[in-house]
Amino acid sequence: MITEHSPFHREKELPHGKLHVFTDEESYHHLDENVFTMADNNLRIPRNVYMSYTPDVHMGIGTCIGTTAVWNWKDGFVSPSIVGSDIGCGMRLHLTGLQADDLKGTAAKRELVAVVERHVPVNERSTSRYRDIRLEEVVKEGLHGLPKQYTSDYSSKKKRSLTHVEHARFRYDTSFLERIPDKIWKQAWGRLGTLGGGNHFIEFQRVEVNEDKREIATRWGLFDGQIVVMIHSGSRAWGGMMGPRYAKDCKKAMERWGVATPDPNLVYAPIDSEEGQQYINLMYSALNFAVANRHMIAYGVGQALTDFTGSSESMPVLYDLMHNYALQELHRNRSMLVHRKGTTRALPPGHPLNPNPYRETGHPALIPGSMGTSSYIMIGEKEGEKNYYSICHGAGRVRSRRATKAQVSVDAFSQSMKVGTDEEIVVNQRTLASILDECPQAYKDVDVVIRAVEGAGLASVVAKCHPVAVIKGV
């Protein structure tokens, strides 16, 4: 049975519970039936309070990307499968003093891309350039664990880098770090400030302010034609190695308890169990790594910008937030564990969970496009409470990497990047063929996704950001 709450919000009754789907009618009817099977598997986890899909939903491992799933903290469950493999993966956006005319033509863009590559490792698995950073302090303290010179915010005494973020530090029981094997410590050392491959990127974008939100945009420091820097990365080797290891502990516990699911990739544990507490606490260490990693990538970009312009450049952070995690949050006067796998928190003006600088306006919600298409800066609406203030995290894949390589030509990719024109979106890779699986044709139409989010009343657009130059990792 399907209940239609609005043209952009449907509630589907599945055998093991209810699933809310936020998307337009056409997109809804084109959803793969497997996404509903996967949702029903997730709903087998006992005492689920709420579950939904955002319009960018697509198949994942154990759980679809684009999922919000909620349990009561008191008697609920945590699922590594509904957090995802790249724990703490998220977005960061910085303002610059550059304007569109400063990056006119391909020569200037190529120069900028080359300079960034000198300061940010994008083709390396590790780097030792930041020898003064202690990994133990970062995973314990997040941004507060970085040496002061990296968070000094030369243009501000208020340390904007510590205040204009979703969380500068995630607090947890650090005694759980004693369980981390030496192999993970060694592999993760030196990865801080590295981009990583897949869909991770650094992108220079041109701002186009939504006239209806111009007042908020101005308060945030955004203006038409401004160049901003968007960064997408996660917890790299720390979360990438730690997450699967402790997900296996949950799976072993399920076997001891005699609990099985139709999908062997779906694992979970009671929040108050030893396995549940171990996973939650160590997940928070990965969130600390992730926010510090994006910060150090931005630090490198800032150095590159200074080299590019020939003068000391201010590059203040607008916001940093995640889309792969599980957080203890207060909703409807109850403490809950909110899982977001490929969904972004978008709090409205006045919400108490907003960081202080954004208490009045609500915080920026950063939604990337798909390399060659626009990205968006949004703001949460009060009506978003119905979805636990979750919105999309991007466009969402419409083709697997293998299918993209088989079905999309390099010529089609080249056209979408406007290669050979003055408006070319310059990318750092020598050949587009090497990153064909990340082409715009691999993803849904981000404009359609954003319209569905707005249509559902979850959030609204403050600015549209057009791609100018892209740095991809491999």
Instruction: Express each pLDDT in 229-288 by its tens digit.
Output: 999 999 999 999 988 999 999 999 999 999 989 999 999 999 999 999 999 999 999 999
CA distances from 317 to 291, 364, 374, 413 (A): 12, 11, 20, 31
What distance in Å separates the CA atoms of residue 87 and residue 83, rounded to the nearest whole number? Answer: 7
Strand residue runs (E) in 301-363 = 317-322, 324-331, 334-341, 343-345
- Residue 436, domain member (yes or no): no
What distance in Å separates the CA atoms of residue 354 and residue 208, rounded to the nearest whole number? Answer: 25
- Residue 377, domain member (yes or no): yes
pLDDT at 70: 98
Whole-structure pTM value: 0.96
- Residue 406, domain member (yes or no): no
Find, among 235, 249, 242, 248, the residue nearest to 181 by Cα.
Answer: 242
User: Can you tell me whether residue 375 is helix, strand or coil?
Assistant: strand
What distance in Å separates the CA atoms of residue 170 and residue 401, rounded to the nearest whole number? Answer: 33
pLDDT at 225: 97
What distance in Å separates the CA atoms of residue 45 and residue 67, rounded to the nearest whole number? Answer: 14
pLDDT at 157: 53
Where is the binding site for GMP, in residues?
199-203, 323-324, 368-371, 375, 393-396, 472
pLDDT at 154: 44
CA distances from 12 to 50, 62, 468 (A): 12, 20, 40
- Residue 20, domain member (yes or no): yes
- Residue 296, domain member (yes or no): yes
H-helix or E-strand containing 17?
Answer: strand 17-21
pLDDT at 127: 66
pLDDT at 63: 97
pLDDT at 470: 95
Tally of domains within the chain:
1
What distance in Å separates the CA atoms of residue 364 and residue 375, rounded to the nearest whole number? Answer: 13
Domain housing 259: 2-398+443-472
Find, among 395, 391, 368, the residue nearest to 467 by Cα.
Answer: 368
Report yes or no: 39 and 51 within 8 Å, Cβ to Cβ: yes
- Residue 327, domain member (yes or no): yes
Where is the binding site, in residues?
86, 199-203, 232, 323-324, 368-371, 375, 393-396, 472
**Catalytic choice (9, 164, 339, 393):** 393
Instruction: Classify the phi-psi angles of 352: left when phi > 0, otherwise alpha if psi is within -120 to 50, otherwise beta.
Output: alpha
Please identify every stretch of the chain with a pLDDT value under 70, giving residue numbers as ranges: 123-128, 153-158, 474
Where is the binding site for Mn(2+), in residues?
86, 200, 232, 323
What single-letter DSSP state applies at residue 203? E
The CATH number of residue 182's host domain is 3.90.1860.10
CA distances from 212 to 224, 458, 462 (A): 13, 16, 8
| 393 is known as an active-site residue | yes
- Residue 92, domain member (yes or no): yes
Q: How many CB atoms lie within 10 A of CB 140?
A: 19
- Residue 405, domain member (yes or no): no
pLDDT at 125: 67
